[in-house]
Amino acid sequence: MSSAGELVAGGGRDLEMLKREVQDRAERGKPPLGGISAEDAREALAAIDTLDRDTWARAFSTVAEKYEREARENETRDAPRAARAWWNAWRLFHFARWPTENAPAKLQAKERALQAFRKYAQLLEPAIETVRIPFEGGQIVGYLRLPAGVRRPPLVFGIAGLDSRKEDVVAHSESYLQQGFGVFAVDLPGTGESPIAPATPDSDRLFSAALDYLTERSDIDGRRIVVQGRSWSGYWAAKLAITERARLCGSIMHGGPIHGYFQRNWMTESLQTPEYLYDYLEAKCAMFGANDLNELVERASAYSLLNAGLLDSASAPMLLVNGAHDSQIPIADLYLLLEHGDAKEAWVNPRGGHMGRSPEWPPSAIAERVLLPWIHKVTTIQA
């Protein structure tokens, strides 16, 4: 783990290299800086001269506060302007807490990000509904957004990734709604507002409880639900394709771990990836409830779907997506899924990194040209 309070930059970057990388990602709209303007990133970075986590969180939070003020000033007189300001405040607070809340200022940024996002959600048309589902003495907090004028639409059940959150999933739902799909979003177990923290190998009971709720709603077609796992949550999408195959008409395993990821050699080597900006080990440990790499490897070993004997089981239709050069999750895990169980479909970008992304295939292109057509196909077959 890192020295107390300091970010561990990916790819061995020092402070100045990290700042340049953050600025470059903001300018190109690359994760996790997508939606943050180059000017706002530059303003925040100008206030940073250390790898101290609190300093980074405060710098981006300070820039977010100007949008908070703008949003409050316009809520009653200019709703569209207020919505844009709340969006910008959310993106900046969200990055301030990224990838995990392991410092006091990051915890504060998390709460302010949630507040800003929910203000933004209320101003949209159609609005984003905050859903609270009772679960094991607590609650599952999710977001539901349904397309206007569509009676009982099919639904995409989106699970956030290791460092993204349910807000990221539902905030980028416009293209889904335009094609008549509703979107439901929840956090990955062990992250965000998930009622299961840390994650455990049986955390999929949370998603089963959410399916119970969704299939009972009269404004959703409960026979046409597709689960979509992004990055780490692709693991849960793959598992649910088997365990919940009777209630899903499809499952998208988009860049998720299956077996090889959980081995010590991969867990150790992948920590050096320059694809991940900083605090990769810390984000993983937080999700698993581990204190160091050794404990992380020990806990992760229980998650292998191959060792669990699930991969040769029948499954709902599946689409597997990733890049051949993913340095965070081994592409071999995707091929392993293809070699077991029912026949599946796959899309692999031979020049792509994590999630299949490359200059020729940005996230928007993958969503619009690969994911959405497949979702349309499987939900139409089920209709």
Query: Does 22 fall in a domain?
Result: yes
Residues 72 and 173 in one domain: no
Residues 56 and 71 in one domain: yes
Residues 38 and 65 in one domain: yes
Query: Does 239 fall in a domain?
Result: yes
Query: Does 1 fall in a domain?
Result: no
Last-in-domain residue among 76, 102, 121: 121
Number of domains in the chain: 2
Query: Does 2 fall in a domain?
Result: no
pLDDT at position 383? 64
pLDDT at position 207? 98
Tell me the three state secondary structure of residue 51. Answer: coil
Rounded CA-CA distance 294/289 in Å is 12
Burial of 246 (0-12, 13-18, 19+ CB in 10 A): exposed
For residue 190, the enclosing domain spans 126-382
Query: Does 292 fall in a domain?
Result: yes
Which two structure tokens, joined as six digits, stand for 371? 């994911």
Residues 262 and 285 in one domain: yes
Q: Please, are residues 160 and 235 in contact by the beta-carbon 8 Å criterion? A: no
Residues 240 and 295 in one domain: yes
DSSP 90-136: HHHHHHHH-S---SHHHHHHHHHHHHHHHHHHHTSSSPPEEEEEEET
Q: Categorize the per-residue pLDDT at 317 as very low, low, confident or very high, splitting at 50, 70 and 90.
A: very high
Last-in-domain residue among 72, 100, 121: 121
Residues 200 and 295 in one domain: yes
Mean pLDDT across the chain = 97
Quick: pLDDT tens for 319-349. Answer: 999 999 999 999 999 999 999 999 999 999 9
Which two structure tokens, joined as six digits, stand for 228? 């979509």
Quick: pLDDT tens for 35-79. Answer: 999 999 999 999 999 999 999 999 999 999 999 999 999 999 999
Last-in-domain residue among 93, 121, 149: 121
pLDDT at position 381? 83
Quick: pLDDT tens for 259-291. Answer: 999 999 999 999 999 999 999 999 999 999 999
Residues 148 and 214 in one domain: yes
Residues 270 and 355 in one domain: yes
Taking the complete model, does pTM exceed 0.85, yes or no?
yes
Residues 234 and 356 in one domain: yes
Query: Does 54 fall in a domain?
Result: yes
Residues 269 and 357 in one domain: yes
Angle subtended by helix axes 79-97 and 104-122, to nearest 10: 150
Contacts of 31 (CB under 8 A, 6+ apart): 25, 363
Residues 111 and 139 in one domain: no
Residues 108 and 178 in one domain: no
Query: Does 279 fall in a domain?
Result: yes
